[in-house]
């Protein structure tokens, strides 16, 4: 019986690339069972650590001369027969021409429980500093579809993370990142397996969702996730 072709993923990165690596390692661990495969890593920043990590793994890399040039980016994606776009710490806004062409096939991970602490300028340590300044006692990670506006797209899955009084932005960032590494690969796998869909009205459909796409704690129905997230949340 012929092997089903894997969904081809382009990962967009700007920094260290740990989320892209988490997805790639998850796929390697699943072997032939993996529905998706990262085949291209794209960056708006030459020399970032994520590109070096991609090269180590034998993955083709590209640096965008002009991240705002939607036509050039679409040409690159089509050249590599890309099916799904994964934003994994990518700090540039993806051109509208691209998000429209790949509607329902572009996902991002954000280090808060959106819609809180999202939008332009809310990335990395800025998010965690804002959470701490607000006095919030819960933060978390969100995986969502991407549209033309920063962090506005329909939410796919979220997981809460406790915030402690003695936390620094670095402490909270590390705790949230561990959850991102557990949650994101599973969402990407389900999208590649066509177990997720985005309707025209913005509703997300997927076997692992509970309630509407705006529920704060939409959980993946996978037993191994509970133990992995418990480990990730260990202080």
Q: Are strands 155-162 and 138-145 parallel, antiparallel or unpaired?
A: antiparallel
Q: Distance between CA 18 and CA 41 in Å, rounded? A: 13
SS3 172: helix
Sign of CA dihedral 22, 174, 183, 98: negative
The closest of 22, 14, 128, 7 to 67, measured between CA atoms, is: 14
Please state whether 220 falls in left (phi above 0), alpha (psi between -120 and 50) or beta.
Answer: beta
From the CB of residue 15, how many other CB atoms can be counted at a distance below 10 Å? 17
Q: Which of 24, 110, 128, 181 is catalytic?
A: 110
Q: What backbone torsions phi and psi does residue 66 show, to the nearest 5 degrees?
A: -140, 95
Place of tokens 């309630």: 211
| Overall residue count recorded for the chain in this entry | 235
The answer to whether residue 110 is catalytic is yes
Task: List residues with catalytic annotation.
Answer: 110
């Amino acid at each position: 019986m012929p092997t089903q072709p894997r969904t081809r993923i382009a990962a967009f990165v700007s920094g260290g690339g740990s989320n892209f690596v988490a997805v790639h390692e998850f796929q390697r661990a699943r072997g032939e069972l993996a529905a998706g495969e990262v085949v291209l890593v794209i960056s708006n920043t030459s020399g970032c650590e994520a590109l070096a990590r991609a090269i180590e793994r034998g993955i083709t890399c590209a640096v965008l001369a002009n991240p705002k040039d939607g036509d050039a980016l679409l040409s690159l994606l089509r050249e590599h027969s890309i099916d799904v776009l994964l934003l994994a710490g990518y700090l540039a806004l993806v051109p509208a021409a691209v998000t429209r062409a790949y509607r329902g096939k572009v996902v991002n991970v954000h280090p808060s429980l959106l819609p809180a602490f999202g939008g332009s300028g809310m990335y990395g340590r800025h998010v965690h500093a804002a959470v701490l300044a607000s006095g919030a006692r819960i933060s978390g990670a969100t995986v969502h579809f991407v549209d033309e506006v920063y962090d506005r797209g329909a939410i796919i899955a979220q997981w809460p993370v406790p915030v402690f009084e003695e936390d620094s932005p670095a402490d909270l960032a590390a705790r949230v990142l561990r959850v991102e590494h557990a949650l994101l690969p599973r969402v990407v796998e389900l999208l590649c397996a066509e177990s997720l869909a985005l309707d025209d009205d913005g509703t997300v459909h997927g076997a692992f969702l509970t309630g509407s796409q705006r529920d704060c704690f939409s959980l993946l129905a996978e037993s191994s996730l509970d133990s992995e997230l418990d480990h990730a949340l260990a202080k």
